């Protein structure tokens, strides 16, 4: 009796039989066509081709982390923003991504630092490693694509920042980063509607800068001890900060070729890579010359380059290290604990105005684009305001 043999239909399961020994190619005359294919192997419309194309289109939509990486590249390459600006936007967007990763984007709170305030080393490392959405990041559990972001989500995020007692300026900067991110999504076609104009920014109150007296600044400049190994470098750094009013990032990027000690000028690159020339005083020039002659040659290494301020290992000093040194000497001199590198910049501007400098010259030395930014220092010098009141008020 002949046994019945059950035949397997390859077209019913999308199965192709293996090629015969001897190299018979797939889809040969001996193989029946797949379901959804004609006899020539081409797909029939409406069966497999259209769903597969839709699935491929869905897979090409970038995730939120990938969109942020593309946005940061756009800010660096095409927009030409400064490195510190890109890092600041990156930190703000990373916090926003953590908020979006929560289910329903609710109940998010950043973890407090261990032991209260964040250490200087941890703060420096977090600034330098603010890259977003790396390939090792876990997938988002809540919002996974840019097109899923809605105005209510951003409003809830701003409310969380307010509950965490963030300052108005920090909240406003976070909102600016999100707005630019949405405009980038509209520009690249990732979203259809840009609702960034519907988001209202918090009102930032204008605060007067913290300024120290001339005697306090003098005590700070004399804080470094001559017995310390890096006395000449730190002395030159403090004198240069007060003599020119440069920012921490600007003095960190200074090179010896940017200084002309014969005529007493330096050249620095400010925000937006704008170049300006600032004069220096005789005391600052003498401190820099002594540092260049007696200490810097001993710190130079093959990788040091032409940078002015070098660390003990020979590498260029970062703005975080400069900030740490200024805080160290401020505490030693008995200065307010909130004194920073930027406080010396405020002192430079206020003391110049008190000595009779005009606003236009001060604007050029500080590198301000708008003179309204420089005008705030006119409200700081109380003695100048008293003289104006005494001179022009009808009833002295």
* Catalytic machinery residues: 247, 271, 342, 345, 368, 377
Question: pLDDT tens across 93-119, in order?
Answer: 999 999 988 765 444 444 443 344 343
Long-range contacts of 99-107 (CB under 8 A, 24+ apart): 99/157, 99/160, 100/64, 100/140, 100/142, 100/143, 100/149, 100/153, 101/138, 101/140, 101/141, 101/142, 101/143, 102/141, 102/142, 103/141, 103/142, 104/142, 105/142, 105/143, 105/153, 105/156, 105/157, 106/156
Query: Bigger pLDDT: 375 or 60?
Result: 375
Give the pLDDT score at 286: 96
- Percent of the chain at pLDDT above 70? 75
> Does the pTM exceed 0.75?
no
Bridge-based pairing state of the strands 259-260 and 275-279: unpaired
Helix (H) or strand (E) holding 170: helix 168-188
3-state secondary structure of 260: strand
Q: State yes or no: pLDDT of 89 exceeds 60.
A: yes
Q: How many residues does the chain have?
A: 396
- C-alpha 305/C-alpha 313 separation (Å) is 13
Give all domains of the chain, ordered by start, each with its CATH number: 64-112+120-198 (1.10.150.130), 214-392 (1.10.443.10)
Question: pLDDT tens across 223-244, in order?
Answer: 999 999 999 999 999 999 999 9
């Amino acid at each position: 009796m002949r046994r019945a043999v059950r035949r397997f239909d390859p077209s019913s399961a999308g199965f192709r039989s293996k090629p015969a020994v001897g190299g018979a190619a797939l889809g040969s005359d001996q193989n029946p066509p797949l379901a959804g294919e004609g006899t020539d192997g081409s797909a029939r419309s409406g069966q497999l081709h259209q769903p597969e194309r839709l699935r491929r289109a869905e897979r090409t939509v970038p995730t939120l982390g990938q969109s942020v990486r593309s946005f940061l590249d756009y800010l660096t390459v095409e927009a030409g923003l400064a490195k510190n600006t890109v890092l600041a936007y990156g930190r703000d967007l990373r916090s926003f991504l953590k908020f979006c990763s929560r289910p329903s984007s609710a109940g998010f709170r950043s973890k407090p630092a261990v032991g209260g305030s964040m250490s200087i080393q941890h703060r420096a490392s977090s600034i330098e490693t603010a890259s977003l959405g790396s390939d090792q990041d876990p997938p988002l559990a809540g919002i996974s694509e840019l097109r899923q972001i809605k105005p209510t989500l951003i409003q809830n995020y701003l409310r969380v920042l307010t509950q965490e007692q963030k300052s108005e300026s920090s909240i406003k900067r976070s909102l600016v980063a999100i707005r630019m991110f949405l405009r980038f999504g509209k520009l690249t076609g990732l979203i259809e509607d840009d609702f960034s104009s519907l988001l209202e920014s918090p009102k930032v109150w204008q605060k007067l800068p913290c300024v120290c007296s001339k005697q306090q600044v003098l005590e700070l400049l004399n804080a470094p001890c001559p017995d310390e190994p890096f006395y000449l470098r730190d002395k030159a750094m403090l004198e240069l900060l007060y003599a020119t009013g440069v920012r921490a990032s600007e003095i960190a990027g200074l090179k010896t070729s940017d200084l002309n000690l014969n005529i007493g000028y330096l050249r620095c690159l400010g925000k937006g890579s704008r170049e300006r020339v600032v004069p220096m005083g005789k005391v600052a020039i003498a401190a820099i010359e002594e540092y260049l002659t007696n200490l810097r040659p001993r710190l130079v290494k093959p990788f040091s380059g032409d940078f002015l301020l070098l660390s003990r290992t020979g590498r260029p000093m970062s703005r975080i290290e400069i900030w740490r040194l200024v805080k160290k000497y401020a505490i030693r001199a008995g200065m307010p604990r909130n004194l920073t590198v930027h406080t010396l910049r405020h002192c430079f501007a206020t003391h110049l105005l008190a000595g009779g400098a005009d606003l236009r010259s001060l604007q050029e030395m500080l590198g301000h684009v708008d003179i309204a930014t420089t005008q705030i220092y006119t409200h700081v010098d109380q003695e100048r305001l008293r003289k104006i009141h005494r001179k022009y008020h009808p009833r002295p």
